[in-house]
Structure 1
Amino acid sequence: MPDLRLEKALHARGLRIVAGVDEAGRGPLAGPVAAAAVVLPPRFSCPGLDDSKKLSPAKREVLYAKLTTHAKVRWAVALVHAEEIDSINILRATHLAMRQAVSELRMEVEHCLIDGLPVPVFPWPHDGVVKGDGLSLSIAAASVIAKVTRDCWMQEAAREFPQYGFERHQGYGTPGHLAALRSHGPCRIHRRSFQPVSQLTLPLDGA
């Protein structure tokens, strides 16, 4: 389970405001990529908090509510949408969302712990932590907030575009989503630079 060892090591160096940063939604064919930044108070405890991918949707929502209503947890989330993803590519869009999320904290962040590899030209000193959402409690918190925020956004999108079933797959390339793409073509929130969305004349099954 993630803990505060990485954060405490930075605190011991005199870095008091440490933000965990993580993203959700790099892989889907539709919808935004989300990133969250979270600063936890010292000695913070949240039983069950883990990498969002290891948690059920119901558990994520419970943890999201605890994190976002905690008086001493500072958090922010940012979305970069499909049009910009197509314009600058998904990696740059993910890094942009991370920068925006840390900026939206509106506090003097001294260091960031980012899930994965270091981010080029990041405005704050940081460490890339591979599989950090399973190691750092603040990164795990960011992973939950980013994931729940994005899933809620896709639930809203499903009401506007009910033919795609976004409420079931959140834009990932499931068989049902691919079948809907073949039947209806892409909609406004699809990432047109992603295959198979970029293949605008997709063959029908059996064709």
Structure 2
Amino acid sequence: MKTPPSPGPSLPITGKGGKLTIVCGIDEAGRGCLAGPVVAAAVILPKDFDPTGIGDSKKLTAKQREKAYERIVREALSFGIGQCTAEEIDKINILRATHEAMRRALAALTLAPERVLVDGLAVPNLHKNCHNLIGGDALDVSIGAASILAKVTRDRLLVAYDTQWPEYGFAGHKGYGAATHLAALDKYGPCPIHRRTFGPVAQLALRF
């Protein structure tokens, strides 16, 4: 698989008087899964960061993501990870949980950003200078980097969960609604990390 084109440098980073602005990119992973947390990452990159190999995490192979992950955490000026558990998702709904995971990721930064770029739709009360970009993980390198950190972090969590509940095959499908996952749900019912308010899980949970 060829690496897709990398996004460009972080979008407008100059403020008043030409002063450089500290830009943070934010993205999430796992919003559409049936199990596990939703994970968000916030990343502040140096202005001379090489965007090669960085982009939408879904278009990279696992090996490419791991390689990019190591470089991002090594070279980033600051990064933060936030997550909301399946229990929290069931309590407040996936949209609010995704936004809360993003707030937690932003709060975990050790450097205060002056401008925040978030992938997708606008997130209320995230930052006073926040801008949303549809398809931002393919347009801005800081969002692309956040996409990779969120995806790799979540994938590693699901691999760890696989050792606790091997019957569900979390290491393979990462909690998404794959046929093997649905078959395991049908046979064993939901486990503690399943999102019980999500349709397929809710329907099967009634039987157990």
Do both share a fold (TM > 0.5)? yes
Partner of 1:123: 127
Would the aligned equivalents of 2:78 and 2:110 in 1 still touch at CA under 8 Å? no
1:67/1:73 contact within 8 Å kept? no
Aligned pair partner of 2:196 in 188, 192, 197: 192
Match of 2:36 in 1: 31
Is the 1:15–1:110 Cα contact (8 Å) retained in structure 2?
Answer: no
Unaligned residue ranges in structure 1 (runs of 5+): 203-207
Match of 2:63 in 1: 58
In 2, distance between residues paired with 1:46 and 1:126? Answer: 22
Residues 4 and 137, structure 1, Cα contact 8 Å, conserved in 2: yes
- What TM-score comes out, normalization by structure 1 length? 0.92
Q: Distance in 1 between matches of 2:119 and 2:10?
A: 15
Q: Which amino acid aligns with 1:119?
A: V
- Answering whether residue 184 of structure 2 is matched by residue 176 of structure 1, we say no
Aligned to 2:97: 93
Contact kept in structure 1, 2:162 and 2:169, CA below 8 Å: yes
Displacement over 6 Å in runs of 4+? none
Work out whether residues 109 and 124 of structure 1, in 8 Å CA contact, stay in contact via their aligned partners in 2.
Answer: no
Identity fraction in percent? 48
- State the secondary structure of the residue aligned to 1:198: helix
The reply on whether 1:10 has 2:17 as its aligned counterpart is: no
TM-score by length of 2: 0.92
Corresponding pairs, count: 200
The CA deviation string for residues 141-195 of structure 1, in whole angstroms up to 9 with x for no partner, is: 0000000000000000000000000000000001000000000000000000101
Q: Deviations over 1:56-77 (max 9, x none)?
A: 001000000111122x531111
8 Å Cα contact 1:23/1:147 also seen in 2: yes
